């Protein structure tokens, strides 16, 4: 049951990273692909895990792990494109809901003996429904949200498979190698190289430092999230992403006049819908907490 609270802490940390992502994508680093590339490159810190039990895995394990990292990179590109085009709270909730559903469906196909009992299904359904109704949906980001959610769901499911067939260290290390590898392979394309070079030249020193700090924050959140995934259920952990929105919503309200692009719509109708969505998410969390 400890994985539940570890996931909760992870989503609080990643909520802060999401807000900073929106700020960075709003002005200083306007290129989602390049932004995703630099995020991937920072994952090279996973090399420090080598002395702590990293081994050469089987071909099957290696391919699955690398595919997980590659899917994560693709999902990240679509996510950042959507964030740049819309409000972060809209993107976070919609992509989160699609990711949770995709993870459940992929888990049935990929993970042997995977099943949720009735209470867990109710909890997951409430949290997904809550995420879906929290914000109005913009058609222009529909395709990006679906692609990001499907890619992320596949990545998480393959990562869970890696954890089930190895240990935490090797699961993280080899999926990060896939993440870095596909990012480096993308440089074979001229347009990709140009995008990365321009992003580095045109970003300010302050935005580079903020980017680094933000990714260190995000790394802390993902380490906790990966540990929770190692111990817990992949679909339910993604369903808990609804709680991330609660944190994003609170941060957005507190800093709406200080951080560009995170303002919340708080007219009467929107507020009622948000409250209903939040209650669904909280109810789902309570049911999940009591059923474990």
Summarize the confidence of residues 259-281 as an average pLDDT.
70
What is the value of pTM for the model shown?
0.84
pLDDT at residue 29 is higher than 60: no
- Measured between alpha carbons, how far is 188 from 192 in angstroms, rounded to an integer? 8
Composition of the chain by helix, strand, coil, percent to 5: 85, 0, 15
Q: Around Cβ 120, how many Cβ atoms within 10 Å?
A: 19
Q: Report pLDDT for 1.
A: 63
pLDDT band for 172, please (50, 70, 90 cuts).
very high
| Cβ neighbours for 112, distance < 8 A, ≥ 6 positions apart | none
Q: Report pLDDT for 263.
A: 56
pLDDT in tens, 125-134: 888 888 877 7
pLDDT band for 169, please (50, 70, 90 cuts).
very high
Summarize the confidence of residues 244-262 as an average pLDDT.
71
Q: String of b and e for 223-239 (b: at least 16 CB within 10 Å)?
A: ebbbbbbbbbbbbbbbb
Backbone angles phi, psi at 202, to 5 degrees: -90, -10
Q: Report pLDDT for 162.
A: 94
pLDDT at residue 276 is higher than 60: yes
Q: Pick 1 or 100 by higher pLDDT.
A: 100
Q: What percent of the chain has pLDDT over 90?
A: 25
pLDDT in tens, 64-123: 999 999 999 999 999 888 888 877 767 877 888 889 889 988 988 898 767 778 888 888
pLDDT at residue 140 is higher than 80: no
pLDDT at residue 139 is higher than 60: yes
pLDDT in tens, 179-213: 999 999 999 988 888 888 877 776 667 767 777 88
Torsion angle of alpha carbons 73, 74, 80, 85, nearest 10°? 180
| Cβ neighbours for 185, distance < 8 A, ≥ 6 positions apart | none
Q: Report pLDDT for 163.
A: 92
| Cβ neighbours for 47, distance < 8 A, ≥ 6 positions apart | none
Q: Report pLDDT for 261.
A: 56
Give the CA distances from residue 31 to residues 27, 42, 97, 146, 176, in Å, rounded to whole numbers and listed in that order: 10, 17, 25, 20, 22
- Measured between alpha carbons, how far is 41 from 148 in angstroms, rounded to an integer? 20
Give the CA distances from residue 23 to residues 20, 247, 253, 263, in Å, rounded to whole numbers and listed in that order: 5, 16, 15, 11
Cβ distance 288 to 236 under 8 Å? yes
Q: Report pLDDT for 133.
A: 78
pLDDT at residue 257 is higher than 80: no
Cβ distance 58 to 170 under 8 Å? no
Residue 114 parent element (H or E):
none
Task: Determine the 3-state secondary structure of 121 from DSSP.
Answer: helix
pLDDT at residue 228 is higher than 80: yes
């Amino acid at each position: 049951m400890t994985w539940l609270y570890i996931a909760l802490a992870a989503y609080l940390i990643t909520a802060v990273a999401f807000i900073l992502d929106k700020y960075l994508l709003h002005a200083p680093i306007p290129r989602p692909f390049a932004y995703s590339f630099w995020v991937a490159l920072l994952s090279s810190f996973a090399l420090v895990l080598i002395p702590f039990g990293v081994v050469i895995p089987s071909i099957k394990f290696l391919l699955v792990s690398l595919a997980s990292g590659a899917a994560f990179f693709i999902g990240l590109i679509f996510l950042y494109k959507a964030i740049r085009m819309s409000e972060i709270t809209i993107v976070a909730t919609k992509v989160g809901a699609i990711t949770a559903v995709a993870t459940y469906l992929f888990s049935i196909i990929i993970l042997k003996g995977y099943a949720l009992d009735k209470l867990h299904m109710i909890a997951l359904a409430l949290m997904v429904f809550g995420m879906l109704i929290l914000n109005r949906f913009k058609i222009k980001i529909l395709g990006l949200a679906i692609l990001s959610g499907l890619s992320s769901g596949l990545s998480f499911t393959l990562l869970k498979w890696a954890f089930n067939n190895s240990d935490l260290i090797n699961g993280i290390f080899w999926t990060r190698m896939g993440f870095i590898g596909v990012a480096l392979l993308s440089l074979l394309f001229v347009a990709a190289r140009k995008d990365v070079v321009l992003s580095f030249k045109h970003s300010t020193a302050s935005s580079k430092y903020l980017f680094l700090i933000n990714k260190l924050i995000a790394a802390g959140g993902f380490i906790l999230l990966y540990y929770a995934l190692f111990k817990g259920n992949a679909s339910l952990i993604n369903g808990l992403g609804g709680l991330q929105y609660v944190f994003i919503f609170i941060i957005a309200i507190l800093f709406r006049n200080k951080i560009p692009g995170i303002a919340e719509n708080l007219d009467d109708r929107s507020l009622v819908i948000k409250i209903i969505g939040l209650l669904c998410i909280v109810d789902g969390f309570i049911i999940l907490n009591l059923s474990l």
